[in-house]
Amino acid sequence: MKMKMMPSPEIHLSDKNYLMQRDPGVISYEAEIDGFVRHWDEYVPQNYDPSKKWPLMISVHGGGGNNLCRKFAWHLLAERDGMIVCYPESISNTVMWNVFGDKTREEGYPDEMVFFDKLYDIMLEKYNIDKERVYIHGQSFGDQMISVYLRTRAHKFAAACPSSGTIFASKFYNDDGTEIVPHECALPVCRMHGMDDDNGAMGIRPELRDELMKNGEWRRMKMEVVVQPNLYYWRSVNQCRELPHFTIRDEFNIVRYPSEIDCDTCFFALEGGEHNQRPEYVDNLWSYFLSAYRRVDGKIVKGEPIRKFEEDKNTAIFTDGSPYAYVDNNLYKMSAIARRMNGARISKYSMYIPADFVGVALDCESSISEDGLTAEYSKNGVTVQIAAGTRGCIVNETIKYIPLVEHINGVLYVPVAAVGKYLNGMRAIEGYDVTYLTYGDGEMTYDMAMMIKQVLRAEAELPPQCFVANERRYFAGAGVMGER
């Protein structure tokens, strides 16, 4: 289907809120459901043909209601790829979803589970929906809404994308680490967060929030009580392998946990990404991840997505102080720890590894002299020679700069990024004491660096009961949004 840009809706600025006229194709509905008048929007592509089956996307807004960015992006995808889109709307005065606790009737708010179940049925009755291709996406408070919903309604969907929400560990786990609500079934899930999104610190008592924001520790807090508990939950449900695949594409850091049953759990960390999503984020989530999945006779079937995603291959990853290396998504133990040397003038060349592991890291032939003071590496007709105590190396017959080659406690240490550059054109992506050698380019995010350190055993990956304990520590005495 050839893609055409639709006329932009008229935009007005009023009280710092964007208001918009209804886009072509958007239809607003209301109905009394479970004793409450509920509203939702539907988007139907211009070429909708009721004789054919169409995928359905349910996109759930955050606090404050639907905004132009998310709605416009899904409209474009609906026209380009052919899908029906449904936008449920919450009912509370603060435009929030009622996902806190069980006292819904006493508080006068509706049971959102009933609303979403009914809306699902309405959409399937109204349109010729392909029941194998029903998807759900939630942004911010919508992330919280769908995360709670999917604990018991995963069977309705082929894949899900919760994004940017502060859905805490205690929504999934009891104090002892057991599931609060036993999970229903596996579901491919891709979680996304922007690295400049400080929404994860919402609800913390003000003095602690200010301190966390000042020293940057809010990023660790977000990982410990939001991101990793959610990933841990779906990794367990989806029978994912312990070791993930890492990929960096420009500002996108992608972590994929392959599943034994084709229900992968993924994480998109966006360097520079803020709380609200840009249209290309939604396009990537749909085109590379969600569109690959169907639910056939209750089981997930993984096919080809609209755009094939090529993961990084032949990467080599190290972190300061760890004896482990992650090469092409396989874990190795080196003969000595990786070291970050202060003497290296260029930061991306400051990670040193034992000379006897360079051959594995760079997939090349290697030889080390008997005295352990010189080494030679060869690949595809290129040879790099190094020697302890020198700042130069020989690349074939040419002398090139290299940071000082060190010999420490009988170990010849090599600045691996410099050798990788001269030997086979690899690039070094640096961040948070992690060096990521690859043939691509991009930026390292805090979140991905933390997960890499856990794989390299430089940091411990916490079990569920620790997630909940950390949440209580961060939020002790705070007037957090709703009861947990």
Check which CATH number belongs to the domain holding 343 and give it.
3.30.457.10
Kindly indicate the confidence band of residue 218, based on its pLDDT and cuts at 50, 70 and 90. confident
Sequence letter at residue 46: Q
Kindly indicate the confidence band of residue 216, based on its pLDDT and cuts at 50, 70 and 90. low
Domain of 264, CATH number, reads: 3.40.50.1820
Q: For residues 243 and 144, state if they share a domain.
A: yes
Please report the pLDDT score of residue 215 as a whole number: 59
Listed residues 402, 417, 439: the one ending a domain: 439
Tell whether 359 is covered by a domain.
Answer: yes
| Cα–Cα separations (whole angstroms), residue 475 to 53, 80, 439 | 47, 44, 42
pLDDT at 282 over 50: yes
As for how many domains the chain has, the answer is: 2
Give exposure, 451-476, as e/b (b: 16+ Cβ within 10 Å): bbbbbbebeeebebebbbbbbeebbe
pLDDT at 271 over 60: yes
Please report the pLDDT score of residue 9 as a whole number: 38
**How would you classify the pairing of strands 265-270 and 189-194?**
parallel
Beta strands in 364-410 (DSSP E): 365-368, 374-379, 382-387, 392-395, 398-401, 406-408
CB 386 within 8 A of CB 419: yes
CB 294 within 8 A of CB 269: no
Collapsing DSSP to helix, strand or coil, 423 comes out as: helix
Give mean pLDDT, residues 401-409.
93
Handedness of CA 89, 284, 244, 443 (dihedral sign): negative
Give mean pLDDT, residues 118-138.
96
- Cβ burial of 215 (10 Å; 0-12, 13-18, 19+) is exposed
Q: Which two tokens stand for residue 252?
A: 């996108």
Tell whether 93 is covered by a domain.
Answer: yes
Tell whether 372 is covered by a domain.
Answer: yes
Collapsing DSSP to helix, strand or coil, 169 comes out as: helix
Listed residues 246, 274, 302: the one ending a domain: 302
CB 444 within 8 A of CB 430: yes
Give mean pLDDT, residues 72-91.
88
Q: For residues 331 and 295, state if they share a domain.
A: no
| Cα–Cα separations (whole angstroms), residue 366 to 394, 398, 414 | 15, 19, 12
pLDDT at 21 over 80: no
Sequence letter at residue 225: V
Local structure of residue 80 (DSSP, 8 states): I
Q: Which two tokens stand for residue 435?
A: 């060096």
CB 417 within 8 A of CB 348: yes
Please report the pLDDT score of residue 17 as a whole number: 36
Query: pLDDT digit string (tens) for 187-197?
Result: 999 999 888 77
Domain of 35?
A: 11-302
Listed residues 302, 333, 358: the one ending a domain: 302
Residue 95, C-beta contacts closer than 8 angstroms, at least 6 positions apart? 61, 63, 64, 65, 89
Q: For residues 273 and 337, state if they share a domain.
A: no
Q: For residues 263 and 389, state if they share a domain.
A: no
Tell whether 283 is covered by a domain.
Answer: yes
Query: pLDDT digit string (tens) for 131-146?
Result: 999 999 998 888 989 9
Residue 80, C-beta contacts closer than 8 angstroms, at least 6 positions apart? 1, 3
Q: For residues 413 and 377, state if they share a domain.
A: yes
pLDDT at 399 over 60: yes
Mean pLDDT, the chain, rounded, equals: 85
Q: Which two tokens stand for residue 89?
A: 């709307």
For residue 88, list its beta bridge partners.
40
Collapsing DSSP to helix, strand or coil, 68 comes out as: helix
Kindly report which listed range (31-40, 255-264, 354-363) carries the lowest average pLDDT score: 31-40
pLDDT at 424 over 90: yes
> How many Å apart are CA 214 and CA 62, to the nearest integer?
26
CB 382 within 8 A of CB 424: yes
Q: Which two tokens stand for residue 147?
A: 């995360």
> How many Å apart are CA 171 and CA 160, to the nearest integer?
17
Please report the pLDDT score of residue 14 as a whole number: 35
Give mean pLDDT, residues 248-263.
94
> How many Å apart are CA 440 and CA 315, to the nearest integer?
10
Residues above pLDDT 90, as percent of the chain: 59
Please report the pLDDT score of residue 316 as a whole number: 98
Sequence letter at residue 109: Y
Residue 107, C-beta contacts closer than 8 angstroms, at least 6 positions apart? 98
Q: For residues 371 and 297, state if they share a domain.
A: no
Residue 157, C-beta contacts closer than 8 angstroms, at least 6 positions apart? 134, 135, 136, 150, 187, 295
Tell whether 4 is covered by a domain.
Answer: no
Kindly report which listed range (55-59, 83-87, 108-112, 134-138) carries the lowest average pLDDT score: 108-112
The residue count of the chain comes to 484
Q: For residues 289 and 429, state if they share a domain.
A: no
pLDDT at 180 over 50: yes
- Count of Cβ atoms closer than 10 Å to residue 225 Cβ: 26
- Count of Cβ atoms closer than 10 Å to residue 286 Cβ: 27
Q: For residues 282 and 323, state if they share a domain.
A: no
- Cβ burial of 32 (10 Å; 0-12, 13-18, 19+) is exposed
pLDDT at 211 over 60: yes
Give mean pLDDT, residues 449-465.
92
Tell whether 91 is covered by a domain.
Answer: yes
Kindly indicate the confidence band of residue 12, based on its pLDDT and cuts at 50, 70 and 90. very low
Give mean pLDDT, residues 306-321.
95
Q: Which of 31-45, 115-129, 159-173, 217-231 has the largest mean confidence?
A: 115-129
> How many Å apart are CA 179 and CA 65, to the nearest integer?
30
Q: For residues 256 and 335, state if they share a domain.
A: no
Give mean pLDDT, residues 87-104.
70
pLDDT at 105 over 90: no
Q: For residues 362 and 270, state if they share a domain.
A: no
Give mean pLDDT, residues 63-92.
78
Q: Which residue did the predictor score with more confidence, 61 or 297?
A: 297
CA-closest candidate to residue 283, choices 136, 77, 43: 77
CB 270 within 8 A of CB 193: yes
Tell whether 165 is covered by a domain.
Answer: yes
pLDDT at 6 over 80: no
Kindly indicate the confidence band of residue 299, based on its pLDDT and cuts at 50, 70 and 90. very high
Q: Which residue did the predictor score with more confidence, 461 or 10?
A: 461
Q: Helix-strand-coil percent breakdown of the chain, rounded to 5?
A: 30, 30, 40
Handedness of CA 296, 300, 303, 306 (dihedral sign): positive
Give mean pLDDT, residues 174-181.
89
Residues above pLDDT 70, as percent of the chain: 84
Give mean pLDDT, residues 443-471.
91
Q: Which residue did the predictor score with more confidence, 213 or 136?
A: 136
In terms of phi and psi (left: phi > 0; alpha: psi -120 to 50; beta: otherwise), the region of 99 is alpha
Give exposure, 258-272, as e/b (b: 16+ Cβ within 10 Å): bbeebbbbbbbbbbe
For residue 129, list its beta bridge partners.
54
Q: Which two tokens stand for residue 53?
A: 């089956």
The crossing angle, in degrees rounded to 10, of helices 464-475 and 228-237 is 160
Q: For residues 143 and 193, state if they share a domain.
A: yes
Q: For residues 117 and 248, state if they share a domain.
A: yes
